[in-house]
């Protein structure tokens, strides 16, 4: 077994708000191996994006703060790095793509200058060399007519093209890890697949790991090697992707899978969405945060919080009743 | 880009015409018989009639307005009731003090306003930020003519660093020129920069919350570069707007400061004309000021397009 | 059921604005309890209003009559702010001057707000009227307020009423442009579409759905108008285009003192201080009202307040 590229250990990230302290990420641990595609899934507000921003060191402080834990990247603890060294890693060894292609590119700077920027910052390339590289990057992400595109502004490009530019920018310095935070959510379904294929291609070419943050289980099934399921700031299940669909061990995972519309289901058979609502993060229920919505919940779940435990090789679940759950499905 | 500029120019034309109509109508419908003002207190009805005939006051409203516009279009601003001289001739010697004052104030207030606004945004939430913003609010609320009074009292009357009033033209030496304008420049700059500073700060803070700022940080850009390269230009649009607006404010400020500091500029000329009820001069100056301000707005519009490529179509 | 359901839908879309106004008032009072600056500003404004009403009653001297024996006295126990070149008590003239500032300020604010909002709402629904009106508004706004007011007053003569008319003209034009812009953008919004889709008539949409949403803009703008009208009145009086010299107005008194800067600094200093503090209070109230009323800003303020 190779050494993991990214090791997140007991990460706690909190936000101070008017309503109280929100534990957006609460004791999250997982590892991403070199060259693999790891997906973090969950509903909006479950803490998956905050986890990504914590890795990047981009938690807005205030109001947010990483209160404890460690994030080890290639043997270095990112949380203990001085900001200057963290900056040197951002954009060079870890690249990131964001959700909104419309607003993630600077509207007043040309594509060229935005693409060349990481090269100038991290590889000290001079203007012309960086611009030539930028042109190659546009070709790499499959946008035709790169010479014209270079001189254009973001508003002259389509959403899909902008996201390709974001990928080119994130991959400019050949990072070891690419983080895609809901990178395809705002795009049309047909474009989504193209963008995901592109991310898979560019990372596999350089051997980079890919961390996909998404709420879309379809994407997870199609692309991810391993999956972490998050709910209310905690990881509930970590599993091989194929195994997750075949044998979900956490009630929340089961609920998520059942709420996805399927083409192969009987016509007219109802979807079964998860009952209840996502809890208020400032006022979480006692015990397991999922217990009010869980059909398997027992008394213990309302008092004690389950921790993530290995149930079989390659599978970790945080549920007292996981054996029952596994049997039911 | 050119299409945009042409379009903005075309949009300004009806405004200029409207300004002309308002200016002319204002004086036309206003009470007071211009012939009586010209002739003085002891004029006989015959003399009044002769003046009306001579200057065309007995023609119909549209004809008079048409005539006024026609002359205006040919650079003829009319004749003063009082001195009977061409107004363009009267304005010419008044341009230097006002333009010099205007240039200095715009440059200085823009520099001070933007730099303090950015400093406040950079240090947002700190004591420095709060102090700068307290100063900005103070500058916004202080009446210019009172601030002028205070500065004269401190720097001219008590310290004697500057003359109490008076103007020294550029021809008499640049230093004495700048020296004579120093206090009025300062007073107007402080007031104008307060406004610019407030807007710069809030525009910067607004932009710093944008997604593309996060992207810049994700690229590993330094905070300095995030601030100057990524955040400043997008936030420059409201700043340009407010600089334009502050120039309009200067027109008012100059009327007051030129009066207080006895600077022989256009503002002073307007006040004198109002005291003498010299309507052609009032008309001409209103028109000149409005057209200059429409021009300033046009420049600001074109600056928008330069700042933000999305505006050029 | 269907009869009852319509108003309920509207209620959910946009609460009637009596409720909103009450909420705004309540939140302002609550804000004043937490915000010292706001509380102080409101207190200053209330003192100003008190002086505006009772200034002439409080005056201990005949503030219009000259008293040459006591002219140009520096501040002393008898004349707190000293006396002017005619021997009139500057303190009395200053507190009496409050009335004129507040009269002009509040009149201009009220007139321009009522007319401006009314005209803007009407023209936003009549395209031709809108086109004509906006050309006129653009023309008016091309002039600097005080310059236009100066010219106007030189024509119609200096009096309190004329000062109010002259200043209301440009203030109203400004209001029309602001409110019309807000109304037009609101008309595009989803909840107005929703109201229209369920068949709510246009005037009702304007009153129930559009107006409540621009109330905060109008209130903030009104404080701005109040501040600038008070400043403008003082400027006009200072230039001699306001009320006659013997009537106490802050601008008048400052103009008087201007001529005696070497020996009578106090004459201009005190009324100027009153003027500055009043305008400052109004501006600060406007700032906090904006911060507290604008829901978008509110969320942000909370996070920055946490810093």
Judged by a CB distance cut-off of 8 A, whether residue A19 touches chain C is no
Q: What is the DSSP letter of A92?
A: T
**Cα B79 from Cα B55, distance rounded (Å):** 10
pLDDT tens string, chain C, 307 residues long: the values are: 333 334 444 444 555 566 666 766 776 677 667 778 888 888 899 988 888 888 777 777 777 777 777 776 777 777 777 777 776 777 778 888 888 889 999 999 999 999 999 998 888 877 788 888 888 888 888 888 888 888 888 888 888 888 899 999 989 999 998 888 888 877 777 777 777 777 777 777 777 777 877 887 888 889 989 999 999 999 988 888 877 777 788 888 888 878 777 777 777 888 889 899 999 999 888 888 777 766 554 444 333 333 2
Residue of B98, B141, B244, B256 to mutate, interface with C, max C Cβ within 10 Å: B141
ipTM at complex level? 0.85
Given CA atoms C168, C279, C146, B37 in this order, what sign does their dihedral have?
Answer: positive
Least Cα separation, residue A278 to chain B (angstroms): 26
**Cα C32 from Cα C34, distance rounded (Å):** 5
Are the C-beta atoms of B91 and B269 separated by less than 8 Å?
yes
Judged by a CB distance cut-off of 8 A, whether residue B238 touches chain A is no
- The residues with which A38 forms a beta bridge, in sequence order, are A211, A226
Task: Decide if C302 and A62 are in contact by the 8 Å CB cutoff.
Answer: no
Given CA atoms C191, C196, C197, C198 in this order, what sign does their dihedral have?
Answer: positive
Q: What is the DSSP letter of B227?
A: I
**Cα B230 from Cα A100, distance rounded (Å):** 17
Lowest mean pLDDT among A105-109, A321-325, B241-245: A321-325
As a whole number, mean pLDDT of residues A37-65 equals 87
**Cα A162 from Cα A103, distance rounded (Å):** 10
Are the C-beta atoms of C41 and C287 separated by less than 8 Å?
no
Least Cα separation, residue C298 to chain A (angstroms): 11
Contact partners of C by the rule of 3+ C-beta pairs under 8 A?
A, B
Per-residue model confidence (pLDDT) at position B67: 86
Beta carbons within 8 Å of C235's beta carbon, 6+ residues apart? B143, B144, B145, B252, B256, C146, C251
Per-residue model confidence (pLDDT) at position C16: 59
Judged by a CB distance cut-off of 8 A, whether residue B94 touches chain A is no
Least Cα separation, residue B236 to chain A (angstroms): 11
CB nearest B220 (choices: A106, A107, A121): A121
**Cα A248 from Cα A239, distance rounded (Å):** 9
As a whole number, mean pLDDT of residues A127-152 equals 87
Task: Decide if C307 and A62 are in contact by the 8 Å CB cutoff.
Answer: yes
Per-residue model confidence (pLDDT) at position A291: 81
Task: Decide if A91 and B219 are in contact by the 8 Å CB cutoff.
Answer: yes
Query: Minimal Cα distance from B226: which residue of A?
Result: A106
Do strands A94-97 and A76-77 pair parallel, antiparallel, or not at all (unpaired)? unpaired
Residue of A108, A113, A125 to mutate, interface with B, max B Cβ within 10 Å: A108
Task: Decide if B215 and A105 are in contact by the 8 Å CB cutoff.
Answer: yes
Tokens of C178: 């602001």
Lowest mean pLDDT among A122-126, B148-152, B219-223: A122-126
**Structural domains present in chain C:** 83-296 (1.10.3720.10)
Residue A109 backbone dihedrals phi, psi, to 5 degrees: -115, 145
Least Cα separation, residue A13 to chain C (angstroms): 16
Q: With beta carbons under 8 A apart, name residues in chain B contacting A98.
A: 211, 214-215, 218
Per-residue model confidence (pLDDT) at position B111: 95
Task: Decide if A17 and C302 are in contact by the 8 Å CB cutoff.
Answer: yes
CB nearest A104 (choices: B212, B234, B307): B212
Inter-helix orientation angle B174-208/B127-141, to 10°: 120
Per-residue model confidence (pLDDT) at position C3: 38
Judged by a CB distance cut-off of 8 A, whether residue C38 touches chain B is no
**Structural domains present in chain B:** 18-73 (no CATH), 93-307 (1.10.3720.10)
Residue A130 has pLDDT above 70, yes or no: yes
Model pTM score: 0.83
Beta carbons within 8 Å of C292's beta carbon, 6+ residues apart? C27, C28, C31, C298
Query: Minimal Cα distance from A173: which residue of B?
Result: B219
Are the C-beta atoms of B8 and B298 separated by less than 8 Å?
yes
Task: Decide if A16 and C302 are in contact by the 8 Å CB cutoff.
Answer: no
- Nearest to A87, CA basis, from A62, A61, A121: A121
Residue A301 has pLDDT above 50, yes or no: yes
Instruction: Pick from A94-108, B97-111, B270-284, C232-246 the range whose average pLDDT is largest.
Output: B97-111
CB nearest A104 (choices: B215, B220, B234): B215
Contact partners of A by the rule of 3+ C-beta pairs under 8 A?
B, C
CB within 8 Å of chain C, chain B residues 110-129: 124-125
Q: With beta carbons under 8 A apart, name residues in chain A contacting B224.
A: none
As a whole number, mean pLDDT of residues B58-82 equals 84
Least Cα separation, residue C146 to chain A (angstroms): 37
Alpha-helix residue ranges (DSSP H) falling in A57-208: 83-89, 111-123, 127-140, 146-150, 159-171, 189-206
Per-residue model confidence (pLDDT) at position C194: 79
Residue A310 has pLDDT above 90, yes or no: no
Judged by a CB distance cut-off of 8 A, whether residue B29 touches chain A is no
Q: What percentage of chain A reaches a pLDDT higher than 90?
A: 9
Residue of A110, A117, A122 to mutate, interface with B, max B Cβ within 10 Å: A117
Q: With beta carbons under 8 A apart, name residues in chain B contacting A103.
A: 210-212
Per-residue model confidence (pLDDT) at position C12: 46
**Cα B186 from Cα B253, distance rounded (Å):** 12
Q: How sure is the predictor about B120, in pLDDT bands with cuts at 50, 70 and 90?
A: very high
Q: With beta carbons under 8 A apart, name residues in chain B contacting C152.
A: 26
Per-residue model confidence (pLDDT) at position C303: 35
Per-residue model confidence (pLDDT) at position C105: 92
Least Cα separation, residue C242 to chain A (angstroms): 48
As a whole number, mean pLDDT of residues B165-185 equals 86
Q: What is the DSSP letter of B126?
A: S
CB nearest A87 (choices: B214, B222, B230): B222
Average pLDDT, chain B: 86
Residue A82 has pLDDT above 70, yes or no: yes
Q: How sure is the predictor about B212, in pLDDT bands with cuts at 50, 70 and 90?
A: very high
Task: Decide if A106 and B221 are in contact by the 8 Å CB cutoff.
Answer: no
**Cα A6 from Cα A77, distance rounded (Å):** 10
Give the strand order in the sheet containing A209-214. Answer: A94-97, A177-181, A209-214, A37-41, A226-231, A234-240, A315-317, A309-312
Residue B83 has pLDDT above 70, yes or no: yes
- Nearest to B284, CA basis, from B82, B97, B96: B82
Beta carbons within 8 Å of A170's beta carbon, 6+ residues apart? A91, A95, A96, A97, A178, B218
CA A108 to chain centre: 28
Give the CA angle between residues A28, A30, A34 to the nearest 5°: 150
Task: Decide if B212 and A118 are in contact by the 8 Å CB cutoff.
Answer: no
Least Cα separation, residue A274 to chain B (angstroms): 32
Average pLDDT, chain A: 85
Least Cα separation, residue C299 to chain A (angstroms): 9
Q: What is the DSSP letter of A319?
A: -
Torsion from C-alpha of C30, C34, C38, C41, nearest 10 degrees: 100
Do strands A64-73 and A234-240 pair parallel, antiparallel, or not at all (unpaired)? unpaired
Cis? peptide before A62, omega within 30° of 0: yes
pLDDT digits (tens, 9 = 90+) for B213-225: 999 999 988 888 8
Burial of C149 (0-12, 13-18, 19+ CB in 10 A): buried
Task: Decide if A169 and B219 are in contact by the 8 Å CB cutoff.
Answer: yes
Residue B33 has pLDDT above 90, yes or no: no
Are the C-beta atoms of A15 and A26 separated by less than 8 Å?
no
Per-residue model confidence (pLDDT) at position C2: 38
**Cα B137 from Cα B195, distance rounded (Å):** 8
């Amino acid at each position: 077994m190779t050494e993991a590229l990214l090791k997140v250990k007991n990460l706690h990230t909190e936000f101070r708000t008017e309503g109280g302290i929100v534990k957006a990420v609460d004791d999250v641990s997982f590892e991403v191996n070199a060259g693999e595609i790891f997906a973090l899934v969950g509903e909006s507000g479950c803490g998956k994006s905050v986890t990504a921003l914590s890795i990047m060191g981009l938690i807005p402080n205030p109001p947010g703060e990483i209160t404890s834990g460690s994030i080890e990247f290639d043997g270095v603890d990112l949380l203990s790095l001085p900001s200057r060294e963290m900056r040197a890693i951002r954009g060079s060894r870890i690249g990131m793509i964001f959700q909104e292609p419309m607003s993630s590119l600077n509207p007043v700077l040309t594509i060229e200058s935005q693409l060349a920027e990481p090269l100038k910052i991290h590889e000290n390339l001079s203007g012309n060399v960086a611009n030539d590289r930028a042109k190659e990057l546009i070709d790499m992400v499959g946008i035709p007519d790169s010479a014209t595109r270079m001189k254009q502004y973001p508003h002259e490009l389509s959403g899909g093209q902008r996201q390709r530019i974001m990928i080119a920018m994130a991959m400019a310095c050949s990072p070891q890890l690419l983080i895609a935070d809901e990178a395809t959510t705002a795009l049309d379904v047909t474009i989504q697949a193209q963008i995901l294929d592109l991310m898979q291609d560019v990372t596999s070419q350089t051997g980079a790991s890919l961390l996909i943050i998404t709420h879309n289980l379809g994407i997870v099934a199609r692309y991810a090697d391993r999956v972490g399921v998050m709910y209310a700031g905690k990881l509930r299940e970590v599993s091989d992707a194929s195994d997750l669909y075949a044998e979900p061990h956490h009630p929340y995972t089961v609920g998520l899978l059942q709420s996805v519309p399927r083409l192969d289901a009987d016509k007219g058979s109802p979807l079964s969405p998860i009952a209840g609502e996502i809890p208020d993060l400032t006022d979480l229920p006692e015990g397991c945060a999922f217990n009010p919505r869980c059909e398997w919940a027992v008394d213990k779940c309302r008092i004690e919080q389950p921790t993530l435990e290995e149930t079989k090789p390659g599978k970790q679940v945080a549920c007292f009743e996981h054996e029952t759950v596994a049997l039911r499905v | 880009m050119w299409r945009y500029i042409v379009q903005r120019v075309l949009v300004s034309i009806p405004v200029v015409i409207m300004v002309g109509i308002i200016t002319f109508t204002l004086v036309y419908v206003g009470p007071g018989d211009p012939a009586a003002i010209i002739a003085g207190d002891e004029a006989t009805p015959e003399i009044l009639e002769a003046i009306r005939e001579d200057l065309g006051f007995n023609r119909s409203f549209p004809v008079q307005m048409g005539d006024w516009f026609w002359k205006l279009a040919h650079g003829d601003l009319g004749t003063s009731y009082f001195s009977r001289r061409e107004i363009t001739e009267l304005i010419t010697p008044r341009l230097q003090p006002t333009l010099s004052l205007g240039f200095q104030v715009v440059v200085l207030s823009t520099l001070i306003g933007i730099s303090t606004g950015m400093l406040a945004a950079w240090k947002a939430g700190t004591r420095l930020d709060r102090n700068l913003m307290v100063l900005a609010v103070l500058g916004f609320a202080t009446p210019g003519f009172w601030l002028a009074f205070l500065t004269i009292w401190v720097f001219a009357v008590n310290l004697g660093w500057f003359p109490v009033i008076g103007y020294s033209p550029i021809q008499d030496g640049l230093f004495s020129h700048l020296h004579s304008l120093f206090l009025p420049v300062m007073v107007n700059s402080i007031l104008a920069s307060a406004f610019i500073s407030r807007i710069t700060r809030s525009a910067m803070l607004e932009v710093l919350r944008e997604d593309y700022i996060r992207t810049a940080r994700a690229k590993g850009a330094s905070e300095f570069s995030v601030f100057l390269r990524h955040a400043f230009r997008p936030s420059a649009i409201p700043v340009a707007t407010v600089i334009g607006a502050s120039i309009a404010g200067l027109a008012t400020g100059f009327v007051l400061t030129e009066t207080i500091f006895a600077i022989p500029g256009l503002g002073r000329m307007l006040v004198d004309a109002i005291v003498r009820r010299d309507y052609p001069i009032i008309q001409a100056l209103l028109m000149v000021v409005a057209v200059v301000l429409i021009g300033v707005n046009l420049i600001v519009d074109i600056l928008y397009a330069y700042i933000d490529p999305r505006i050029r179509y | 059921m269907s009869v009852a359901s319509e108003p309920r839908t509207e209620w959910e879309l946009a609460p009637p604005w009596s409720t909103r106004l009450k909420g705004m008032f309540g939140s302002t009072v609550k804000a004043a309890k937490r915000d010292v600056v706001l509380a102080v500003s409101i207190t200053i404004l209330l003192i100003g209003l008190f002086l505006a009403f009772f200034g002439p009653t409080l005056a201990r001297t005949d503030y219009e009559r000259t008293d040459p024996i006591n002219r140009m006295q520096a501040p002393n126990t008898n004349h707190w702010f000293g006396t002017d070149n005619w021997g009139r008590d500057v303190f009395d003239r200053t507190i009496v001057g409050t009335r004129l500032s507040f009269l002009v300020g509040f009149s201009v604010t009220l007139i321009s707000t009522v007319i401006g909002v009314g005209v803007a709402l009407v023209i936003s629904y009549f395209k031709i009227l809108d086109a004509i009106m906006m050309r006129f508004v653009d023309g008016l706004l091309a002039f600097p307020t005080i310059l236009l007011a100066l010219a106007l007053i030189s024509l119609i003569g200096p009096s309190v009423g004329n000062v109010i008319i002259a200043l209301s003209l440009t203030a109203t034009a400004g209001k029309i442009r602001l409110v019309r812009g807000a109304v037009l953008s609101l008309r595009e919004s989803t909840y107005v579409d929703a109201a229209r889709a369920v068949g709510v008539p246009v005037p009702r949409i304007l009153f129930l759905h559009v107006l409540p949403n621009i109330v905060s803009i109008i209130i903030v703008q009104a404080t701005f108008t109040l501040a600038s009208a008070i400043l403008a009145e003082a400027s006009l009086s200072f230039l001699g285009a306001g009320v006659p010299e013997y009537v106490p107005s802050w601008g008048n008194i400052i103009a008087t003192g201007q001529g005696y800067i070497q020996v009578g600094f106090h004459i201009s200093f005190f009324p100027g201080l009153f003027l500055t503090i009043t305008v400052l209070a109004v501006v600060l109230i406007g700032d906090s009202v904006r911060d507290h009323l604008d829901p978008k800003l509110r969320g942000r303020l909370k996070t920055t307040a946490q810093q």
